[in-house]
Copies of this chain bind each other. A is one copy, B any other.
Amino acid sequence: MADKPVCLIGGGGFIGSGLRRHLGARRIPAVILSRSPVPDARENEIHVNLAEQSWEDIRTRLRRFEYAAIIDLAYASVPTSSFADPARDVAENLGGVLRHLELCAQLRTEKFVYVSSGGTIYGEGEGRPHKEDDPLFPLSPYGITKLACERYVHLYHHIHRLPAVIVRPSNIYGPGQQPFRGQGIVSTAFGAAFEGRPVTVFGDGSSVRDYLFVDDLCEAIEAIVTQADAGSILNVGSGEGLKVIEILRMIDQLMHERGGTLELAFEPPRPFDVHYNVLDVSRLHAIAPWRPRTALGNGLAQTRDWVEQFLTNRSSP
């Protein structure tokens, strides 16, 4: 990315925190938009609290810059919570992306990156890695609103020439992913183990997932910002499948080093848990030399240490 600033919409979440580290390490100016205050402002950052001003004022402020990229990460739900209130999922997430697109169509930017969901948008599939052109039959309201958001982004690309690229990450894990939020079994498993509680496994643990470390996702997004053509859709994942039970065993091993263990509590599978979700990343490989750099054991150990610190900070007065 160049000297121009990068704008993060919804920079206060898990992937946002990873991108902020990434931009900070490269001293790239960053404009962080979020609905709640974002802690630990870095030198390279300007923070804009969406709740504190009108869209009119926000637009005026944002138009002062020309951006290398605007990256939209904002989302108000996770797959499990979207079932409790699909109408709220619709109103908040689709209403949100429509406001962002309307805003961004009026800004100068070289790319608009929409972060979708490779983990939920495909649905069950046929037991082989999902290609970007595969049929999309999501099995959660969350996945359906992500699909609709992708198509609004495509519409703005088609009608308003927004230089939009869609990124579909696999199961992202790593430091910054808070446990017990209904998304991210890795941090939730570490959190449960540190608290001496079992982690719930839906089904027998044979479901296959594609785990990618958050820093590797951030490097992929940087490659996509500079290399991908506007209008493209790209999976980002390891491309390799791992059974849930296998990653939980690795987490258990890593807890032994802290004198702990991971207990499992098996529950019946839920109808929206697909058996197999691995992403085919050949399209990304064809446009950029990006490859994941963080070995799973290393990434899990970093996550363990971050969750330990997070729980310690939370419990201290």
Contacts and interface: CB of A to CB of B under 8 A. Distances in A.
Contacts of A90: 90-91, 94-95, 98, 148
A133 interface: yes
Interface string A252-291: 0000000000000000000110000000000000000000
B144 A155 contact: yes
A151 B140 contact: no
Q: How many copies does the complex hold?
A: 2
A87 interface: yes
B86 A152 contact: yes
A155 B138 contact: yes
A14 B90 CA distance: 27
A131 to B, nearest CB: 12
Interface residues of A, number: 28
Contacts of A152: 86, 141, 144
Contact of A144 (B138, B148, B272): B148
Interface string A76-97: 0000000000110011001100
A268 to B, nearest CB: 14
Contact of A140 (B135, B145, B155): B155
A180 interface: no
Contact of A272 (B86, B137, B159): B159
A139 interface: yes
A35 interface: no
Contacts of A151: 136-138, 144, 147
A86 B145 CA distance: 14
Contacts of A133: 135
Nearest to A152: B144
A281 to B, nearest CB: 20
A136 B271 CA distance: 25
A271 B155 CA distance: 10
17 contacts: A86-B152, A87-B94, A87-B95, A90-B90, A90-B98, A90-B148, A91-B95, A137-B154, A138-B155, A139-B155, A139-B159, A141-B152, A141-B155, A144-B148, A144-B155, A147-B147, A159-B272
Given A90-B90, A90-B91, A90-B94, 16 more contacts: A86-B98, A86-B152, A87-B94, A87-B95, A87-B99, A90-B148, A91-B91, A138-B151, A140-B155, A141-B155, A144-B155, A145-B148, A147-B147, A147-B148, A147-B151, A159-B271
